[in-house]
Amino acid sequence: MRSEILFFLPLLVSNCYAQQDDSTAPPARHEAIVVTGTYEPVALEQIDRSLTLLPVRSEGLVLNTLIDLLRLDPSLDLQERAPGGVQADVSIRGATFGQTLVLLNGLRLNDVQTGHHDMDIPVPLDSVARIEVLRGSGSTLYGSDAVGGVINIITEPSEALEIRLRAAGGSFGTNQQRISIADSFGRLSEQLTASRDFSSGFMPDRDYRNLQLASSTHLMTGWGASDLTLAYMDHPFGADQFYGPYPSWENTKSWFAGFRQQIGRKTEVSFGYRRHSDLFVLFRDAPQIYTNHHADESYQAAVRRNENVAANVSLHYGAGVLHESIVSNNLGNHARSRAAAYAALEMRALRRFSLTLAAREEVYRMFTAEFSPTVSGGVWLSPKLKLRASASRAFRVPSYTDLYYSDPNNFGNPALRPERAWTYEGGSDWNPSPRWHAEATVFQRRVRDGIDYYGTSSNGPWYALNIDNLQFTGIEPAVRFSPARGQSIDVRYTWLLGTQDTVPNIYTKYTFNYPTDAGVVSWQANLRSKVLLRSRVGALNRRGRDPYVLWDIYAGYGGGRVHPFVQVSNVTSTSYEEVLGVRMPGRSVIGGLEWLLK
């Protein structure tokens, strides 16, 4: 099943420089089959880009939200305003939250209103099989917004009968219930999931409720595989201090439908629909003072085809369209459409050499076009050591908030130009033994016409503008070690330095709100006694603020049909803020039971 195919289809070209004897080819590790960084499914070790694979379904007992997994990669900056992913902004390699593209089964979730809603994931955790994170520019593959990277959330229904019930409770009035029912009927596989998660809040006006419903269907026909995903989310929450010193309240809702159909072995079509609404009240107890209501819709469709030109040589080509619209009492009523076309040639040999050349043309707004090329390659110097490098161009079209939003302290700019960026990176992967894996990546992103808000004081007022000559340079070393069967230790670190060419004595709102140092040490064990354990220690040093360390512990028992579990977050009760001025909770404990019938 290739449910990871993305809306605006990738353009990849691989080539080999020389023929090598089979005995010198690197070993076939086949950790996973992924396509977020390539056009067709390939083994993880063949990827020439920086990609992180995060399994979800196999780790469900020691997970509470998708945020728990994303925090295992220090190159991802998760800026939550409350536990459980409430109004969470995610950025990759110091890019802003609007420069991260979020996908569900390869279809866009990014919100045309504002990037603050990009992590409104409508599917429950039990629907998700895994997450793939592409670090670095991805516009050649996926279009606008993929400046810092891409997060692809992948759902797959189970191929056997499985009923899963889960209930939990804990600190701050947390109450959770989940249900998942999946089965296979010959060529048809179906999964229905529902999730309800609410809390009275760790402080006044920080309560939240999250309801998610989803259906995932997979059907094999004479044409090929058909996949249909339907999802809905309702998410009201107290927003005290979220957007300033106000006791605010907000309610966001999402509707999603995604469909993919294979037509033979060479052709595939896909379609996606997303609707999102946002009701914002500045003073929760006095909505008549200031209230905004926004509703946006997007339609996306694509067709792709591949041809085998010769042995180890294949041609890929296709096209896609996207239409976005919004109805808002503050932003006004707007609509825009985009279209993209691509062509690609891919060649590989002996899994030793690869060269990727990519080109994409995307047309938007009165025939304005963006050209997004990519070149990447890799070479195995030995069966244990691989070198890789890439250069790619990305862009982002301004959101409607960037263009049109207005309140007493924030002012959009209809004259904003799209952001454009080049990313260069080089890295290596080393596998000295089955127990050890090490990797290191050096990257640089150069941004032109970056979009941010500037002010003459740190309190605003803020005005949207384009900023030239932004440059971010970083390194990403990582080591994974398996001390014993069923155990793994991951050590990851990201260092980042940003420079900006701008007018002196002005402040920017988002550009320099990035971690200069971020490190994660995680240990996970699946013991023979069916005890599952995971511990994560993350240290973060955000620019202009004091560093802090967070320690989380997860434990569960996976034997039999009834599985108890417990999660302790912020064990040391560290005082911290991920968004300036928005206090996060201290220590919290959530425990419960899962009942499984397979």
Smallest Cα–Cα separation from 401: which of 579, 583, 243? 243
pLDDT band at 59 (very low <50, low <70, confident <90, very high): confident
Q: What percent of the chain has pLDDT over 90?
A: 67
pLDDT tens digits along 239-262: 999 988 899 999 999 999 999 999
Higher pLDDT, 21 or 54: 54
pLDDT band at 10 (very low <50, low <70, confident <90, very high): very low
Domain spans in the chain, listed from the N-terminal domain onward: 22-597
- Measured distance CA(565)–CA(591) in Å, rounded: 6
Smallest Cα–Cα separation from 157: which of 177, 137, 187, 200? 187
Strands 548-557, 531-542: parallel, antiparallel or unpaired by DSSP? antiparallel
pLDDT value of residue 495: 97
Dihedral sign, Cα of residue 55, residue 58, residue 62, residue 64? positive
Give the helix/strand (H/E) hosting 404: helix 400-404
Q: What residues contact residue 19 under an 8 Å CB cut-off, 6+ apart?
A: 349, 350
- Measured distance CA(298)–CA(309) in Å, rounded: 36
pLDDT value of residue 21: 36
* Interval 573-596 mean pLDDT: 93
pLDDT band at 552 (very low <50, low <70, confident <90, very high): very high
* Interval 35-58 mean pLDDT: 79
pLDDT band at 194 (very low <50, low <70, confident <90, very high): very high
* Interval 267-290 mean pLDDT: 95
310 pLDDT above the threshold of 90:
no
CB 142 within 8 A of CB 132: no
Q: Which amino acid type is present at position 253? A: K
pLDDT tens digits along 13-26: 233 333 333 333 33
- Across 46-50, 368-372, 480-484, least confident range: 46-50
- Measured distance CA(583)–CA(589) in Å, rounded: 18
pLDDT tens digits along 63-74: 989 999 999 999
Cis preceding-peptide flag for 547 (omega within 30 of 0): no
Bridge partner list, 483 = none
pLDDT value of residue 512: 84
pLDDT band at 502 (very low <50, low <70, confident <90, very high): low
311 pLDDT above the threshold of 90:
no
CA distances to 59, 379, 528, 575 from 556, in Å: 10, 41, 13, 27
pLDDT tens digits along 427-472: 999 999 999 999 999 999 999 999 999 888 777 788 999 988 899 9
CB 550 within 8 A of CB 575: no
29 pLDDT above the threshold of 70:
no
Superfamily of domain 22-597: TonB-dependent receptor, beta-barrel domain (2.40.170.20)
Residue 147 burial (CB count, 10 A)? 30
CA angle centred on 80, ends 554 and 395, rounded to 5°:
120
Give strand ranges (E) for 468-569: 470-481, 487-500, 507-508, 515-526, 531-542, 548-557, 562-569
* Interval 581-586 mean pLDDT: 92
pLDDT value of residue 33: 59
pLDDT band at 501 (very low <50, low <70, confident <90, very high): low
